[in-house]
């Protein structure tokens, strides 16, 4: 619903803190990490998504005259600070893991290095965008995995607002869907749009057969008929077959024909319908289904021998209904005061060890098994650390430190995951098209082992700390070893 200037879409406390820094004369450069603590929906991974919208957001950052006037009206900001805001632009650096990458807990998905006031302002919008799209892309990859392909995103009417439906469709296609019903998402992101007709189409005609016939005449090449308005097996499927026979008799060859089931016992109905279609010679006719589906229901239907090959998934995908929020957070990791050469690492301590942050200006190396190209582990390191794949590499679990592993020289490959997006306020990154991100995401998912992808109790992917980062962390915890 909004313009692409989301500058004001921030928590009030970002602005009150900024004003505090402003009048304190705080010109520190800081490092903030966006990371999450737990994969959604019991998954062993997540899909990073939303970076292109973060780029748009940063590029468009500026307060309008009306914004300043509104802020003035709140009565909590002073004129000097409002003047500063009126001239605000982002001058810092941003690093990020490319969209479509598989990612794991604790890893900085986005890293902001900027003057403290700038870094503070952008917290909320970056989290909002990355949290939302990463959530939906991850869910889509799970649904697609269960279905073995052929998942269409059909959730616009149940999405949490226009953006959720439209950016959500973008994320769903990146994560694995073949297309979306959302025409706006198709137009904006160049992704396939799909869909046929509703029950109301059938009800607007005197009878089902006429409704089907009219539809087939209009759309012979994408003729998926919804068969459950009255009685699926006694009326819907026989009428669809009658229309398909008329098309065959008229010499019309269709690129895509078939039926859609939107209610009832999909396993039973799809098997019966498959037999009826096959017996009539329509072995190419596809059977699609759409009825409160998610990855678990699709998995169950497939184990029941359901013959559906095309899945329209709505509510449970577009809202990630079993886990509707991605818990990305934005935490201070380092500070460099004016005149300092190096960053001073910062740590947030918590009674819960899982909530203790990783300090310092960090990067991530991903270690692949050379033979299989699968992920062996990720290594969170301090910027500047390097590893030579022609040498043995010792990695260890940062919590259960006795769990050690040595990767022999030559057996592994290394890739740095964080890439520069903005440097000194200038965008240095060009986002691929959504369909290219989707293709890249598919490659990324192929770097996971089967055991990481299964729906229930998947094997965790190791995310280790480098020795140097581990030592720094424990030094800051006052736990010198």
- Interface of this chain with a copy of itself, residues 38 to 77, rule: CB under 8 A: 53, 56, 66-67, 70-71, 74, 76
Q: Binding of a copy of itself at residue 335 (CB under 8 A)?
A: yes
Residues in the chain, overall count: 481
The torsion angles phi and psi of 307, rounded to 5 degrees, stand at: -100, 15
Q: Binding of a copy of itself at residue 442 (CB under 8 A)?
A: no
Q: Binding of a copy of itself at residue 182 (CB under 8 A)?
A: yes
CB of 81 to a copy of itself, least distance (A): 10
Beta strand extents in 274-392 (DSSP E only) = 286-289, 310-313, 329-336, 344-345, 362-369, 375-382
In the complex with a copy of itself, the residue whose CB is nearer, 203 or 406, is: 203
Q: Binding of a copy of itself at residue 264 (CB under 8 A)?
A: yes
In the complex with a copy of itself, the residue whose CB is nearer, 135 or 461, is: 135
Q: Binding of a copy of itself at residue 300 (CB under 8 A)?
A: no
CB of 117 to a copy of itself, least distance (A): 11
CB of 244 to a copy of itself, least distance (A): 18
- Contact partners, residue 465, CB within 8 Å, separation at least 6: 358, 379, 380, 381, 398, 473
Q: How far apart are CA 121 and CA 123, in angstroms?
A: 6
Q: How far apart are CA 81 and CA 19, in angstroms?
A: 6
Q: Tokens standing for 208? A: 């089902």
- Decide: helix, strand or coil at residue 350: coil
The count of chain residues that interact with a copy of itself, using the rule CB under 8 A, is 104
Q: Binding of a copy of itself at residue 158 (CB under 8 A)?
A: yes
Q: 117 near 77, Cβ under 8 Å? A: no
Region of 160-168, 296-304, 367-375, 400-408 interacting with a copy of itself (CB under 8 A): 160-168
Q: Binding of a copy of itself at residue 296 (CB under 8 A)?
A: no
Q: Tokens standing for 233? A: 């097996």
In the complex with a copy of itself, the residue whose CB is nearer, 44 or 136, is: 136
Q: Binding of a copy of itself at residue 230 (CB under 8 A)?
A: yes
Of residues 38, 148, 198, 468, which one binds a copy of itself by CB under 8 A?
198
Region of 182-190, 384-392, 449-457, 462-470 interacting with a copy of itself (CB under 8 A): 182-190
Of residues 8, 209, 280, 356, which one binds a copy of itself by CB under 8 A?
8
Q: Binding of a copy of itself at residue 162 (CB under 8 A)?
A: yes
375-382/463-465 β-pairing: parallel
Q: Binding of a copy of itself at residue 336 (CB under 8 A)?
A: no
Q: How far apart are CA 83 and CA 96, in angstroms?
A: 31
The torsion angles phi and psi of 202, rounded to 5 degrees, stand at: -60, -45
Instruction: Please give the residues from 315 up to 334 whose contact with a copy of itself meets the rule CB under 8 A.
Output: 315, 319-321, 324-328, 330-332
Q: 317 near 324, Cβ under 8 Å? A: no
Q: Binding of a copy of itself at residue 477 (CB under 8 A)?
A: no
Q: Which of 382, 396, 321, 409 is nearest to 40 (CA)?
A: 321
Q: 170 near 317, Cβ under 8 Å? A: no
| Number of Cβ atoms within 10 Å of the Cβ of 315 | 15
Instruction: Please give the residues from 91 up to 150 whose contact with a copy of itself meets the rule CB under 8 A.
Output: 116, 120, 123-125, 127-129, 131-133, 135-136
């Amino acid at each position: 619903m909004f313009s692409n200037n989301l500058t004001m879409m921030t928590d009030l406390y970002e602005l009150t803190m900024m004003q505090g820094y402003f009048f304190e004369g705080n010109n520190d450069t800081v490092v903030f990490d966006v990371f999450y603590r737990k994969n959604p929906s019991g998954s062993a991974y997540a899909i990073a998504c939303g970076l292109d919208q973060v780029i748009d957001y940063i590029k468009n950052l500026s307060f309008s005259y009306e914004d300043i006037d509104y802020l003035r009206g709140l009565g909590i900001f002073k004129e000097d600070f409002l003047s500063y805001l009126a001239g605000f632009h982002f001058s810092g650096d941003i690093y990020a893991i490319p969209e479509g990458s598989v990612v794991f807990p604790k890893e900085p998905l986005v890293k902001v290095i900027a003057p403290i006031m700038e870094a503070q302002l952008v917290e909320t919008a970056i989290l909002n965008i990355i949290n939302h799209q990463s959530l939906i892309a991850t869910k889509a990859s799970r649904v697609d995995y269960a279905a073995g392909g052929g998942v269409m995103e059909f959730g616009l009417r149940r999405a949490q607002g226009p953006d959720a439906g439209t950016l959500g469709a973008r994320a769903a296609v990146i994560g694995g869907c073949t297309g979306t019903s959302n025409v706006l998402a198709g137009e904006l992101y160049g992704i396939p749009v799909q869909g046929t007709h509703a029950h109301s189409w059938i009800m607007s005609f005197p009878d089902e057969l006429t409704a089907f016939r009219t539809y087939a005449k209009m759309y012979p090449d994408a003729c998926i008929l919804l068969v459950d308005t009255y009685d699926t097996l006694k009326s819907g499927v026989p009428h669809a077959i009658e229309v398909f026979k008329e098309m065959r008799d008229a010499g019309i060859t269709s690129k895509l024909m078939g039926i859609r089931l939107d209610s009832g016992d999909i396993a039973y109905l799809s098997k019966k319908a498959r037999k009826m279609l096959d017996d009539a010679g329509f072995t190419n006719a596809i059977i699609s289904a759409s009825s409160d589906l998610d990855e678990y229901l699709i998995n169950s239907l497939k184990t029941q021998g359901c013959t559906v090959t095309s899945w329209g998934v709505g509510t449970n995908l577009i809202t990630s209904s079993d886990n509707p929020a991605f818990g990305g957070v934005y935490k201070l990791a380092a500070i460099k005061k004016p005149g300092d050469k190096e960053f001073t690492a910062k740590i947030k301590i918590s009674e819960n060890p899982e909530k203790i942050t990783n300090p310092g200006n960090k990067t991530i190396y991903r270690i692949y098994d050379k033979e299989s190209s699968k992920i062996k582990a990720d290594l969170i390191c301090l910027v500047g650390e390097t590893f030579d794949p022609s040498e043995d590499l010792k990695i260890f679990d940062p919590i259960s430190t006795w769990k050690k592993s040595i990767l022999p020289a030559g057996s592994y490959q290394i890739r740095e995951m964080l890439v520069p997006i903005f440097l000194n306020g200038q965008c240095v990154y060009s986002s691929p098209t959504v369909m290219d991100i989707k293709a890249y995401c598919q490659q990324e998912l192929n770097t996971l082992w089967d055991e990481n992808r299964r729906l229930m109790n998947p094997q965790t992917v190791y995310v280790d700390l480098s020795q140097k980062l581990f030592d720094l962390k424990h030094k800051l915890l006052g736990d010198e070893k």
